[in-house]
A and B are shown apart, each in its own frame.
Chain A
Amino acid sequence: MKHLAKRLRYYLGLLGLFAKYSLMEQMAYRINFIAGIAVECGYMLIKLMYAVLILRAGAEINGLTAHEMLMCIGTYIMVTGVYMGIYPNYWALPLSVRDGSLDMQLTKPVNTQFLVTLRKLDFGMPIPDVACGLALIVYGWQRAGLPVTPGAVAGFAVYCLAGWFLTYCLFLIPELLSFWFVSTNGVQALSSAVFDFNNTPMNLYPKWVQRLGILLLPVFLITNFPTLYVMGALSPAMQVWGLAAPLAVFGIQRAIWRRAMRQYTSASG
Chain B
Amino acid sequence: MEIITVQNLTKVFTYAAKEKGLKGSLRDLFARKTLQKTAVENVSFTVQKGEAVGLLGPNGAGKTTTLKMLSGILYPTSGSATVAGYVPWQRQRAYQRRFAIVMGQKSQLWPDLPAVDTFELNRRIYEVDADAYRRTLDELTDLLDVRELLQVQVRRLSLGERMKMELIAALLHRPEILYLDEPTIGLDILSQRSIRDFLKYYNEQTRTTLLLTSHYTADIEALCPRSIIINHGSVVFDGPLAEVSEVFGHKKLVALKAQRDLTAAELAAFGTVRACQHNTALLEVERDRLQPCLQRLFGALPVVDLDVKDIPLEEGIAYFYQKAGVSAP
Contact = CB atoms under 8 A, between A and B. Distances in A.
Q: A–B direct touch, CB within 8 Å, in complex?
A: yes
A266 B74 contact: yes
A10 B113 contact: no
Nearest to A182: B16
B93 A109 contact: yes
B101 A107 contact: yes
Nearest to A268: B64
B110 A103 contact: no
B75 A21 contact: no
B152 to A, nearest CB: 13
Interface string A6-25: 00001001100100010011
A158 to B, nearest CB: 30
A269 B72 CA distance: 18
A50 interface: no
Size bracket, chain B contacts: 20 to 34
Contacts, number: 68
B103 A103 contact: yes
Contacts of B100: 107
Given A28-B112, A264-B73, A109 B105 contact: no
Contacts of B113: 21, 24-25
Interface residues of A, number: 26
Contacts of A14: 121, 124-125
B193 interface: no
Nearest to A106: B73
B96 A100 contact: no
Interface string B55-85: 0000000001000100111110000000000
Contacts of A112: 91
Nearest to B107: A104
Given A21-B117, A25-B110, A110 B125 contact: yes
A109 B106 contact: no
B226 interface: no
19 contacts: A14-B121, A17-B124, A21-B117, A21-B121, A103-B68, A103-B73, A103-B101, A103-B103, A103-B106, A106-B91, A107-B101, A108-B125, A264-B74, A264-B75, A265-B13, A266-B74, A268-B64, A268-B105, A269-B105
Top 4 nearest A-B pairs by Cβ distance?
Answer: A109-B96, A104-B108, A109-B93, A25-B112
Given A17-B121, A104-B108, A268-B64, 4 more contacts: A14-B121, A28-B112, A107-B100, A266-B73
